[in-house]
Amino acid sequence: MPAITSEVVYLLLIFGLLVIPRALQRFRIPAPLTSFAFGMVAAVFLVGFSQDATLALLATLGISSLFLFAGLEVQMDELRRGMWPLLSHLVARAITLTGAALLSMHYLGLSWQVSALLALALLTPSTGFILDTLSRLGLTEDERYWVTVKAVGGELLALLVLFLVLQSGSIERLSYASGALVLMIVGMPLLFIGLGRLVLPHAPGSEFSLLVMVGLIAAYITYQLGVYYLVGAFLAGFIARLLRQRMPLLASDENLRAIQMFASFFVPFYFFYMGMRVPSGALSWEALWWGLGLTAVVLPLRIGSIWLHRRMTGGETARGSLRVATALTPTLIFTLVLATIMRERFQVSDALYGALLFYAGVSTLLPSLVLAKPVDFNVLVGPLPEGHHNKMVKAAEAAEAAEAAKAVDKPDTAAAPADAAQPPAHTEATQPGETRPSAG
């Protein structure tokens, strides 16, 4: 029997990650959780495959493209429209983050950096996944708006806190990293504009490639700064979105759709890769009990605090507030990233790492179990919000179709009186049992 080559292994992996998890979504199992479980199983049979450079590259492309898309989804006009409720939500989020960090320092004996990262891992929603599920959760338009605003605002706050915590080892390190981040913020718009003038006129349709390239470079720079890939990728997408008026093709609806499809291919490899790197100590009974405890305490508090905030500031019904709070529960990406950082840089126990994985799985699974429609975490499905130009084109087409329909109906209505004036055709009665030959 011939040996299975690496090419065959990769083909089987691509098929398994792109087909099977999505097929299992009919049972309301989110595809990321299935990919993660596949990685844990593969680690038993493919020893050493977690060190494969190609798999690591595919995983990096997945996490970077996902946060690049999340940055592109930020709409400042929408954030400004709900500014005051959003600010009060962020204040409440900052208070809960501080409280969770202080409690973990006091009761778990963790350092303040680990406590802050633990609070972020437990309380930060995964914006990319949440935005992709909104159209399939059965929420109203107003509920979708507030879920989007709260998720994006919470992610911006979490990225800022993450940067400060990871660079707080010394004043020199914080100053160096802050200066580099400022240079990125100033330099990326200039880079986008320069590429738009020098490259795009001679290479139409290359906006997608340039955006992905800049996003990957920014992700690599922030990784070298010690704040992981997601900060740079998110920042690149956010800046590209801000330049939409000046460079409309860079963050156009078509380009957003392309980034979304690009991420949908590579994101499963990230979850598979992270599943393969789960240590055996994270699968212990101690980790399970810690995970059950964290889930039983933190998840109801998260849902309850958001529900109470919506009731006090938004004037929503109790049911509507609960639906918004439930839609904001998934934390899979942030929990995975921060749990990995805590384990690799701060050497937290495998039991705590496993507990965070359990919590992330339950929080991600919850919306698919309790909301009206099954949650589909497939970023390839689900249309993007229509742009203003697309809406105007569709409105014009609808108006033209209506005018054409009226033009077709007018001759029929004019001919109707003439038909009514004609005498009715003579008909003969049919006797019982008598049949008439048909016309055909």
> Would you place residue 373 in the very low, low, confident or very high pLDDT band (cuts 50, 70, 90)?
low
End-to-end CA distance of the chain: 68
Answer whether residue 315 shows pLDDT above 80. no
Chain centroid, CA 386 distance in Å: 17
Report the pLDDT value the prediction gives residue 391, as an integer from 0 to 100: 53
Instruction: Kindly write down the DSSP assignment for every residue of 175-218, as one continuous string.
Output: HHHHHHHHHHHHHHHHHHHHHHHHTGGGSTT-HHHHHHHHHHHH
Residue 102 has pLDDT above 90, yes or no: yes
Judge contact between 147 and 139, C-beta under 8 A. Answer: yes
What domains sit in the chain, N to C, each tagged with a CATH number?
6-392 (1.20.1530.20)
Q: Is the pLDDT of residue 287 over 50?
A: yes
> What is the spatial distance between Cα 197 and Cα 241, in angstroms, rounded to a whole number?
18
User: Which residue type is seen at 153?
Assistant: G
If one compares 45 and 259, the residue with the highest pLDDT of the two is 259
Contact call for residues 149 and 76 (beta carbons, < 8 A):
no
Amino acid residing at 236: A
> What pLDDT is recorded for position 407?
59
- Measured in degrees and rounded to the nearest 5, phi and psi for residue 356 equal -65, -35
* pLDDT above 90: residue 70: no
Residue 311 has pLDDT above 90, yes or no: no
**Segment (H or E) for 244:** none
| C-beta separation of 233 from 65 below 8 A | yes
Compute the average pLDDT of residues 284-303.
94
pLDDT at 358 (0 to 100): 96
Average pLDDT over residues 247-253: 86
What is the rounded average pLDDT for all residues in the chain? 83
For helices 171-198 and 207-224, give the axis angle rounded to 10 degrees.
Answer: 170
Are 379 and 316 within 8 A, CB to CB?
no
Lowest mean pLDDT among 122-136, 338-352, 378-392: 378-392
Q: Per residue in 413-431, pLDDT tens?
A: 444 444 444 444 444 444 4
CB 204 within 8 A of CB 37: no
d(CA 255, CA 211): 9
CA 387 to chain centre: 19
What pLDDT does 397 receive?
63
